[in-house]
């Protein structure tokens, strides 16, 4: 058999294999969505989000609500949350989520949110555009998933992270960042006008080249700047 025919047959085999994977993935996701239901609970607007022992998705929205997605024929789990003054408190959802792998909790918030306090928690922040956000993290993880096709409206991001916390982001534009890490790390692909702060106790930060970078480190910490 000629080499060209072997290459052609191999290519067709790869294409067929990829099509099979795509078909199976679509079918699995279809059944997963079909077998789940969504419960939405409207909540008052809040400025501070305080979460403890929880896994949360945060999404920008015109109104504030909590969305719980679970198995269709199961009882909707009770989520421990309350709004006191201008603070939304969510706690102890991780135990419930570990018992039910299909359970997800999504918080929709308006631009009124200014401060996020996290303790032993994970959070995905999706396309959030508050002008200023303060992050106070203790043994927690955050992932920024921002729209990289438009300029982010986040003009100021203040981060205090300690006790093995981690901050990660995709590539997007932002104003200024103040970052203070204690025994924590950050991997920020952001394009920023200015980044400053301190690193201590074996902390590390990886950032893209910014307009101005001023970071103080102790002998155990390190900074990596990507061009």
Q: What is the CATH number of the domain that holds 136?
A: 2.160.20.120
137-170 pLDDT, tens digit each = 999 999 988 776 665 668 889 999 999 999 998 8
144-153 pLDDT, tens digit each = 887 766 656 6
Same domain flag for 126 and 147: yes
Mean pLDDT of 97-107: 76
Same domain flag for 53 and 146: yes
Same domain flag for 13 and 67: no
Mean pLDDT computed over every residue of the chain: 83
- On whether the CB atoms of residues 134 and 151 are closer than 8 A, the answer is no
Same domain flag for 29 and 42: no
High-pLDDT (> 70) share of the chain, %: 78
Phi, psi of 65, rounded to the nearest 5 degrees: -160, 165
Which pLDDT score, from 0 to 100, does residue 34 have? Answer: 52
Same domain flag for 52 and 10: no
20: containing domain: 1-34
Which pLDDT score, from 0 to 100, does residue 201 have? Answer: 96
39-81 pLDDT, tens digit each = 899 999 999 999 999 999 999 899 999 998 887 766 667 788 9
Which pLDDT score, from 0 to 100, does residue 172 have? Answer: 79
- On whether the CB atoms of residues 55 and 94 are closer than 8 A, the answer is yes
Distance, CA of 128 to chain centre: 10
Range name among 7-16, 55-64, 65-74, 95-104 with the lowest pLDDT average: 7-16
Q: Is the dihedral of CA 42, 43, 47, 49 positive or negative?
A: negative
Same domain flag for 120 and 93: yes
Same domain flag for 111 and 195: yes
High-pLDDT (> 90) share of the chain, %: 46
Range name among 38-47, 78-87, 205-214 with the lowest pLDDT average: 205-214
Same domain flag for 67 and 137: yes
How many other CB atoms sit within 10 Å of the CB of residue 81?
Answer: 19
Which pLDDT score, from 0 to 100, does residue 216 have? Answer: 94
The total domain count for the chain is 2
Mean pLDDT of 72-92: 85
More confident residue, 5 or 43: 43
Same domain flag for 204 and 136: yes
């Amino acid at each position: 058999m000629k080499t060209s025919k072997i290459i052609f047959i191999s290519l067709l085999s790869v294409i067929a294999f990829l099509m099979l994977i795509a078909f199976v993935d679509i079918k699995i996701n279809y059944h997963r969505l079909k077998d789940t239901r969504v419960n939405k609970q409207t909540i008052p607007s809040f400025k501070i989000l305080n979460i403890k022992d929880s896994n949360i998705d945060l999404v920008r929205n015109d109104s504030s609500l909590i969305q719980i997605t679970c198995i269709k024929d199961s009882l909707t789990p009770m989520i421990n949350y309350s709004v006191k003054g201008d603070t939304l408190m969510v706690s102890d959802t991780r135990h419930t989520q570990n018992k039910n792998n299909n359970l997800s909790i999504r918080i929709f918030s308006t631009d009124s949110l200014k401060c996020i306090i996290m303790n032993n928690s994970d959070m995905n922040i999706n396309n959030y555009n508050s002008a200023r956000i303060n992050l106070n993290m203790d043994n927690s993880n955050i992932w920024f998933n921002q729209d990289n096709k438009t300029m982010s409206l986040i003009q100021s991001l203040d981060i205090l992270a300690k006790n093995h916390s981690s901050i990660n982001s995709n590539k997007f534009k932002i104003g200024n960042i103040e970052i203070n890490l204690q025994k924590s790390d950050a991997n920020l692909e952001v394009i920023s006008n200015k980044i400053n702060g301190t690193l201590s106790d074996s902390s590390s930060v990886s950032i893209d080249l910014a307009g101005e970078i001023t970071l103080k480190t102790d002998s155990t910490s390190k900074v990596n700047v990507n061009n």
